[in-house]
Amino acid sequence: MKYTVITGASSGIGYAAALAFAERGKSLILAARREEKLEELKDKIKKIDTKIDVIVKPVDLSVAKNVHVFYESLKTYELETWINCAGFGNFAPVKEQKLDKVESMLHVNIEAVTILSSLFVSDYESVEGTQLINVSSAGGYIMISDFVTYSATKFYVSAFTEGLAQELKSKGSKMQAKVLAPAVTESEFELSSLDVDEFQYEGRFSKYHTSKEMAGFMLDLYDSNKTVGIVDESTYEFHLKDPIFPFRVFDNKK
């Protein structure tokens, strides 16, 4: 049995992606901090198909040690797809940022993504059909006022994943690495970014996607041979693209 791993599965795009992959009969390993939310999702998936195996892994990925322990706990499973959805934002001018929150964001958005991606590639690079999908943001290709630090973390995710995709391709690896870049999406993202308990999308944004729509776009990316799935912020249309950032193969013989 092969598994699809989804981090950040307790809400938003990760939650919707779990349901979308379950609809395809994929067995799942679901990770997030809130175990009760994961158990609720597991029950929902079992109603879709009782034959789907669902493993719940509560973990706080803002702690590097936890990230390594989490990955090691999966060694007995055969993995097919790894989706890094875990992440959160921070809405504030740089001079007013709460640094404890920023540090946690850096740990989750950059450190955990890098560690988990690296470990997965190391173990499964040569396995046919394997995919790594890292969730970035449209803000990983443009800078956004009062989201500067968050955008910078997502620039890292975009550049790292695109570069990894090109590196794997240049080496003839069987794994594909891809990056999903949503724009405003109805989820819990704004709650954590703004430190509020409620947030209304209607009236605040002229356009936005639901998490279910973004999960559908993720499947489109998964099914394609493209590297980038990105939402155009001006039209909110979804596009599948080849790598956007320039890439050069380093020749150390020169």
**pLDDT tens digits, 144-163:** 899 999 999 999 999 999 99
The CATH number of the structural domain formed by 2-241 is 3.40.50.720
pLDDT over 60 (residue 190): no
Predicted confidence at residue 172, as pLDDT, reads 97
Residue 26's nearest CA partner among 6, 44, 53 is 53
Q: Where are the domains of the chain?
A: 2-241
Residue 123's nearest CA partner among 62, 52, 74 is 74
Predicted confidence at residue 195, as pLDDT, reads 66
pLDDT over 60 (residue 81): yes
Alpha-carbon distances of 241 from 82, 88, 144, 158, rounded to whole Å: 20, 25, 22, 13
